[in-house]
């Protein structure tokens, strides 16, 4: 199963990807986590990405695509993957389709986690207290939501228009949301 998780910052992509990784036995690939690891390691890529991430803006498409291609060709995605945090704009969505067509591993389904803005902001405020992620400050969270609405929201239509979108209500307990996601992945029974 090759699955893309879509949703605004704080919608639960990382949380649900961890569950899906266990359930589907496929790697969880998060471009945010790959970038945070590069920043922590002080690699040239991390040095370029650091200030952009701290502002809550998007790291350049070229940098992220190169990093993702490296990850997708690491040899452990034969059974699929759960992709979290990519694509974040239409150029990335087209680049991902081109890359995965070339690798013979097209996306099966994109799952959109739907959560209203007020709840997103309160979840990230909670995480700021608990984990201290640098981009969870109120000002940066506002910019991340703005970037999502302007650049990333159109990606939902990209998958809808190609018949690969499932929308899931992301409000409720982690278990409830996980069950809703699994229900969208279950094969539709034959009728007649």
**Minimum CB distance to Mg ion, residue 163 (Å):** 26
DSSP H helices, 31-116, are 31-41, 44-55, 61-72, 90-102
Closer Cβ to ligand AP5, 13 or 71, answer by number: 13
- Cβ 180 vs Cβ 16: under 8 Å: no
Q: Which stretch binds ligand AP5 (CB under 6 A): 19-27, 71-79, 102-110, 169-177?
A: 169-177
Whole-number Cα distances in Å, 109 to 2, 39, 52, 146, 188? 7, 30, 29, 25, 14
How many Å apart are CA 109 and CA 38, to the nearest integer? 28
Map the footprint of ligand AP5 across residues 85-124, applying CB under 6 A: 85-86, 88, 92, 123
Which of 102, 95, 103 is CA-nearest to residue 78? 103
Closer Cβ to ligand AP5, 177 or 181, answer by number: 177
Tell me: does residue 14 bind Mg ion (CB under 5 A): yes
Please select the residue that binds ligand AP5; options are 21, 48, 127, 164, rule is CB under 6 A. Answer: 127
Q: If DSSP codes are grouped into helix, strand and coil, which group holds residue 4?
A: strand
Residue numbers annotated as active site: 13, 88, 127, 133, 144
Tell me: does residue 126 bind ligand AP5 (CB under 6 A): yes
How many Å apart are CA 101 and CA 15, to the nearest integer? 28
Closer Cβ to ligand AP5, 92 or 112, answer by number: 92
Q: How distant is the alpha carbon of residue 135 from its chain centre?
A: 16
Tell me: does residue 21 bind Mg ion (CB under 5 A): no
Tell me: does residue 58 bind ligand AP5 (CB under 6 A): yes
Tell me: does residue 46 bind ligand AP5 (CB under 6 A): no
Q: Which helix (H) or strand (E) holds 7?
A: strand 2-7
Q: Which stretch binds ligand AP5 (CB under 6 A): 20-28, 53-61, 71-79, 183-191?
A: 53-61
Q: Which does 15 bind (CB under 5 to 8 A by kind): ligand AP5, Mg ion, none?
A: ligand AP5
Tell me: does residue 14 bind ligand AP5 (CB under 6 A): yes
């Amino acid at each position: 199963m090759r699955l893309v998780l879509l949703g605004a910052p704080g919608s639960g992509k990382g949380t649900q990807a961890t569950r899906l990784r266990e359930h589907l036995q496929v790697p969880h690939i998060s471009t945010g986590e790959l970038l945070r690891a590069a920043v922590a390691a002080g690699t040239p890529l991390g040095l370029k990405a650091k200030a952009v991430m701290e502002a809550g803006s998007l790291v350049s498409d070229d940098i992220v695509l190169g990093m993702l291609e490296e990850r997708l060709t690491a040899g452990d995605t034969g059974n699929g993957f759960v992709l979290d945090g990519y694509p974040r704009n239409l150029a990335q969505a087209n680049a991902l389709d081109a890359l995965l067509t070339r690798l013979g591993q097209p996306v099966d389904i994109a799952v959109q986690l739907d959560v209203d803005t007020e709840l997103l902001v309160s979840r990230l405020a909670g995480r700021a207290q608990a984990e201290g992620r640098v981009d969870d400050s109120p000002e940066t969270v506002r910019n991340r939501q703005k970037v999502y609405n302007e650049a990333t929201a159109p990606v939902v239509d990209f998958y809808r228009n190609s018949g690969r979108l499932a929308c899931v209500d992301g409000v409720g307990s982690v278990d409830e949301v996980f069950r809703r996601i699994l229900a969208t992945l279950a094969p539709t029974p034959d009728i007649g």
